[in-house]
Amino acid sequence: MVRRATATLVVVALAVLAGCLGGGGAGAATTVESTATETAATTSQSGSPATAAAAGDVTVEVVEVVDGDTIKVVMPDGARETVRLLGVDTPEVHAENTPDEFEGVPETAAGRTCLRAAGEDASAYAKSRLADRTVELRYDGKAGERGYYGRLLAYVVVDGAEFNYDLITEGHARLYESSFEERERYERAERDARERGVGLWSCATEGAAAGGADATTDDGLSLSVVADAPGNDNDNLNEEYVTLRNDGDAAIDLSGWTVSDAAGATYTFAGGTELDPGASLTLHTGSGTDTDEDVYWGRGGAVWNNAGDTVTVRDATGDEVLAYTYE
């Protein structure tokens, strides 16, 4: 009993002494907690260190263009970072290309050779726009700041233009299958580039990607078709589609117009469907929510035969406006 009481007195004395020498135990605890809080504040949700400009744009210097979709930059604090351009994928120039990643490009030596040349074009385009330039990095809340390899993920803004988006519209890149806020806009831009057959899409051999519009009227209404969806058509119905584009000067009222195949399967546009000058409207075979740019047939199986078919467009009175036969 005596030894236990003595030990207790010694512990109390040491605690008091430590408090006097350290300026107060409560203050020390507060310092530790503050440091932990600051450390947590500099760490992103992915566990990677967050950049100082995570909430907005950050101005950087481009010191190297690795290829069409990767650059190296110097950050404001002097740190050197590799930036993977968000949402885009250009053909490889430092490795072998996989043609089936690019819709319509054949799995042949010719397809791979064509993609390599397209990758070199994309790299040259990136160098002409970004090399030794001051640019802004813009982060995306949905994608996060860093990818799997620790590289920054960002939109690159140069001369006020979003370079990532320009890569898509010029056909230098495909849409990269990932989650990011600009995805829908990039999807539309990629589809338009495929239909025009520009850039890497000149390597494609299927449907509209082979050379832009398949049929055009004197008034500027054009039709293109992508009949062969990636993989099994019946499992990927929304990648089988027909696109109407209005390059004329006046809006076209598509109410009651129809699109049909050679077997007589027919889709009728709803009342109030209008195609403005410069706009396009894509009819997907599968299901979805109709928008100003996309409408859905709602069929349970593929319509357009890969081996050949005829696409016919008729107006509300039943008169033929456009017809296109592919083989």
Euclidean distance between the first and the last CA atom of the chain, given in angstroms as a whole number: 102
Tell me the whole-structure pTM to 2 decimals. Answer: 0.50
185 is catalytic: no
Rounded-to-10 torsion of CA 269, 271, 276, 282: -20
Query: What single letter denotes the amino acid at residue 194?
Result: R
Q: Which residues pair with 172 in a beta bridge?
A: none
Please check the confidence at residue 78 and state whether its pLDDT lies above 60.
yes
Whole-angstrom distance, CA of residue 13 vs CA of residue 219: 97
3-state secondary structure of 284: strand
With a pLDDT cut of 90, the percent of the chain lying above it is 58
247-260 average pLDDT score = 94
> What are the structure tokens assigned to 264, written together?
């007589």
Three-state DSSP string of 140-193: ECCCECECCCCCEEEEEEECCEEHHHHHHHCCCCEECCCCCCCHHHHHHHHHHH
Please calculate the CA angle 231-225-170 and round it to the nearest 5 degrees: 90
**pLDDT at residue 165, rounded to an integer:** 97
Find where tokens 């039709």 sit. Answer: 223
**For residue 38, how many other CB atoms are within 10 A of its CB?**
9
pLDDT bucket at 287, cuts 50 / 70 / 90: very high
The answer to whether 48 and 145 are in contact (CB under 8 A) is yes
CB 138 within 8 A of CB 178: no
Tokens linked to 6: 């003595």
Confidence at residue 23, expressed as pLDDT on a 0 to 100 scale = 40
Quote the Cα angle for 187-188-189, to 5°.
90
Per-residue model confidence as pLDDT tens digits over 185-228: 999 999 999 888 889 998 885 433 333 456 788 888 988 888 88
Distance CA 155, CA 88 (A): 10
Single out the catalytic residue among 92, 145, 190, 240.
92
Predicted local confidence at residue 31, as pLDDT: 32
User: Per the structure block, which two tokens stand in for 206?
Assistant: 């299927």
CA dihedral 267, 272, 273, 275 (to 10 degrees): 150
Average pLDDT, the chain: 81
Residue 151: active-site member:
yes
Select which of 138, 151, 183, 299 is catalytic: 151
Find out whether 136 and 157 touch, Cβ atoms under 8 Å.
yes
Give the mean model confidence (pLDDT) for residues 231-238. 88
Active site annotation includes 84: yes
Helix (H/G/I), strand (E/B), else coil: 258 = strand
Cα distance between residue 182 and residue 185, in whole Å: 6
Give the residues across from 226 on adjacent strands: 241
**Sheet of 320-326, strand order:** 266-268, 258-260, 309-314, 320-326
Above 80 in pLDDT, residue 317?
A: yes
Using CA atoms, how far residue 316 sits from 12, 97, 259, 271, 313, in Å, is: 95, 46, 11, 10, 10
Q: Which residues have C-beta within 8 Å of that of residue 4, sequence separation ≥ 6?
A: none
**pLDDT of 54:** 38
